[in-house]
Structure 1
Amino acid sequence: MAATIEELLTRCVAACCPGASGVTGPRRLSGGASQETWSFDIVHPDGNVGAILRRAPPGYGAAPTRAAGLNAEAALMQLAHGAGVPSPEVLHVLRPQDELGTGFMMRRVEGETIPRKILRDGQFADARPKLARQCGDILARIHGLPQPELPELRRMSPETEIAQLDQEYRGFDRPRPVFELALRWLRDHDPGPSAEMTLVHGDFRHGNLIIGPDGVRAVLDWELAHTGDPMEDLGWICVNSWRFGEIDQPVGGFGSREDLFAGYEAAGRRVEPARVHFWEVMGTLRWGIMCCGMMQRFRLGPDHSLERAMIGRRSSETEIDLLRLLAPRGGAHAG
């Protein structure tokens, strides 16, 4: 009979926590279709340790082409944590003998990731005005991580990103005039490769930040990390889809671009607003195309879940966002 997840974790924790006698309360958290996330406590005589397992289950195939892979993700998190970036501490990278697949264990960080709670609940009222500047500071530190210490990552430029989006969009064979407009605008306004290529987190936004009453406590989900234009991360967090209804607060629904940029520059890095705007357009189109992909999977299979359909219909929202960015009323830059 195959060992249970609790039995496998019990055997595994000895490698990362000497003296541990087992685990308690393993439960699977909601997550993507390709990876699993488990929460559990490591039982130890010096006090239990809250932990998270992030893994691709045994037998799962290769990671999606845009993903850096879980081993690279663990290496990036170890590097970030060691440099003082708020990132969970990696306790153990899984080995074949652990029989848990590919992935890693990390220390659990308490806090909230649900955007609507962060943007509305009273316990975060004092934190909200500080979050945009904190995000700028954290991104500056991510972009400053030493290149020689990075794992092998994809190198991306605006040109390659546009080509990838165009290929994905054409694959749906469902023309959308606003997406055509956005692709043409991106080609016409391609700023070229950045003068400085840095680590790019690739998915720095609401849902991937653990936030407490004191502010940002941890950055999660480094799986889309690559090297490229650092302004990409600043543009991505400003995409309207991550504001969750608070459209007048461009940075995650909680702050201004000015505060984001101030935090970034106070940490010793330079903002290029025109490039940030380019990447905000790119990010908005990317999310729209990702939504179309969700709808395609719902319509054609293999995933006919209501969640896929609900995300898929949000492609129409990104069309409105793109029009606000590219053809704002009165000619002014849209928020």
Structure 2
Amino acid sequence: MDEARRDRLTDWLRAASGDASLTIGRMALLSGGAIQQNWAVDVSGGHEWVLRTDNAATLAVSHGRAQEFALLRAAFAAGVTVPESLFLCEDRDIIGAPFFVMRRVAGTAAGFRVVKSDTLGGGRVACARSLGRELARIHSITPPRDDLAFLGAAPNDPCRAFIAEQRAALDRQRLPRPVLEWGLRHLERTAPPAIPAALVHNDFRTGNIMLDETGVTAVLDWEFSCWSDPHADLGWLCAKCWRFGNDAQEAGGIGPRAALYEGYGTPDDARVRWWELAAHIRWASIAVDQAERHISGLERSLELALTGHMVPGLEWEILRMVEARDGR
């Protein structure tokens, strides 16, 4: 961040915090964050914060910083393990984009490291149970909520709403995706009955969950949250694409599915597995969108370009899952 923006940020933080003597020490761009930027900010008084702002290009389906700030506050109030959100700035003149500031927490979220550890989160079984409990707390938030009005009305049938959204996403792509269409058709034929919607994180997976040796220290990245079937979060976490190669541990490559269910309560396993197939279709669609950010020239990035190369593997898994569900 250049000096002019840093000076403006200092002045703004002094006003927001009520500390006229506040100074910024170290600022460092944290790793990860293909869609958003996260900056570690050390300020006077020993405070360790994170500033979260937009990258040059964002996905149309992701929330803005003001909306994510509100989601974090709602989750914090519901007992979800999230960083405490502190200050929101919607003035683009400060650093060039809206941002919010939250407390920094310790731990690791790197998926390839998390799935290799037998001790992070208190051990595999204990960690999977903890993840189930975190999801149950998230899903205790139900519509309508004035503070989350930007989420719109909850769908009457979350499964059918998902199918319609994904079909629209595929229709706007430059190239046809017949395997994804085939998977959507299977979901359409096997959709379970509608149940009341709740808040879903909508990206609850290994890589967005901060862990240390004692347990979960933070659930991160709420930019895709929406009202939907709560089983969608369970299916997303259990999707093979988020196990980072540790396929035997079905709860995100971290622990057993049974422990996740035990921590959550009594989820409907058949419904979870419907959403697990849905997760592969959705992630394939997102991967195509990520690659388009690079191809368009708007945001040249090797990471975004490589994300597009994940799509054939996801399509193969979708075909395998459909075949298995059809009993062939």
Which of 272, 275, 282 is residue 276 of structure 1 equivalent to?
A: 272
TM-score by length of 1: 0.86
Instruction: Describe how 1:139-150 pairs up with structure 2 within 5 A.
Output: 139-145=135-141, 147=143, 148=145, 150=147
Amino acid at match of 1:82: A
Amino acid at match of 1:86: T
Q: Which residue matches 1:55? A: 53
Contact kept in structure 2, 1:288 and 1:319, CA below 8 Å = yes
Question: Which runs of 5 or more structure 2 residues have no equivalent in the other structure?
Answer: none
Deviations 1:254-312 (A, max 9, x none): 122211111011xxxx4122221111111111111222233444445334432222211
Q: Which residue matches 2:28? A: 27
Q: Which residue matches 1:181? A: 182
Is it true that 1:160 corresponds to 2:158 in the alignment? no
Which of 302, 305, 308 is residue 306 of structure 1 equivalent to?
A: 302
**Distance in 2 of aligned mates of 1:119 and 1:296:** 29
For structure 1, which segment, 161-170 or 26-35, has the greater mean C-alpha deviation from structure 2 after superposition? 26-35
Amino acid at match of 1:24: G
Give the superposition deviation at 1:64: 4.2
Say if 1:130 and 1:10 are closer, same or farther in 2 by CA, change over 3 A: same
Contact kept in structure 1, 2:160 and 2:191, CA below 8 Å = yes
Contact kept in structure 2, 1:88 and 1:218, CA below 8 Å = yes
Give the superposition deviation at 1:104: 0.9
Instruction: Describe how 1:6-85 pairs up with structure 2 within 5 A.
Output: 6-14=6-14, 15-16=16-17, 18=19, 20-32=21-33, 35-44=36-45, 48-56=46-54, 64-85=59-80
Contact kept in structure 2, 1:128 and 1:255, CA below 8 Å = yes
Amino acid at match of 1:50: E
Instruction: Describe how 1:1-335 pairs up with structure 2 within 5 A.
Output: 4-14=4-14, 15-16=16-17, 18=19, 20-32=21-33, 35-44=36-45, 48-56=46-54, 64-96=59-91, 99-100=94-95, 101-121=97-117, 124=120, 126-145=122-141, 147=143, 148=145, 150-152=147-149, 153-154=151-152, 155-156=154-155, 157-194=158-195, 196-265=196-265, 270-328=266-324, 331=327
Give the superposition deviation at 1:122: 6.4
Give the superposition deviation at 1:17: 5.8
TM-score by length of 2: 0.88
Give the superposition deviation at 1:205: 0.7
Contact kept in structure 2, 1:127 and 1:212, CA below 8 Å = no
Deviations 1:110-142 (A, max 9, x none): 110101111224662843332211111000001
Question: Which runs of 5 or more structure 1 residues have no equivalent in the other structure?
Answer: none
Give the superposition deviation at 1:103: 2.2
- What secondary structure, in the 3-state scheme, does the structure 1 residue paired with 2:148 have? coil
Contact kept in structure 1, 2:66 and 2:90, CA below 8 Å = no
Contact kept in structure 2, 1:20 and 1:42, CA below 8 Å = no
Contact kept in structure 2, 1:53 and 1:105, CA below 8 Å = yes
Give the superposition deviation at 1:186: 1.1
Give the superposition deviation at 1:224: 0.8
Amino acid at match of 2:274: F
Identity %, equivalent residues: 33
For structure 1, which segment, 289-298 or 74-83, has the greater mean C-alpha deviation from structure 2 after superposition? 289-298
Deviations 1:177-235 (A, max 9, x none): 422320110111122432x2111111111111111111211111111111121111111
Contact kept in structure 2, 1:12 and 1:98, CA below 8 Å = no
Deviations 1:66-114 (A, max 9, x none): 2232212111211222332100001111153982432210000011010
Deviations 1:22-60 (A, max 9, x none): 11101122454653221111202xxx0110001237xx7
Say if 1:299 and 1:72 are closer, same or farther in 2 by CA, change over 3 A: closer
Amino acid at match of 1:53: L
Give the superposition deviation at 1:158: 2.0
- What secondary structure, in the 3-state scheme, does the structure 2 residue paired with 1:104 have? strand
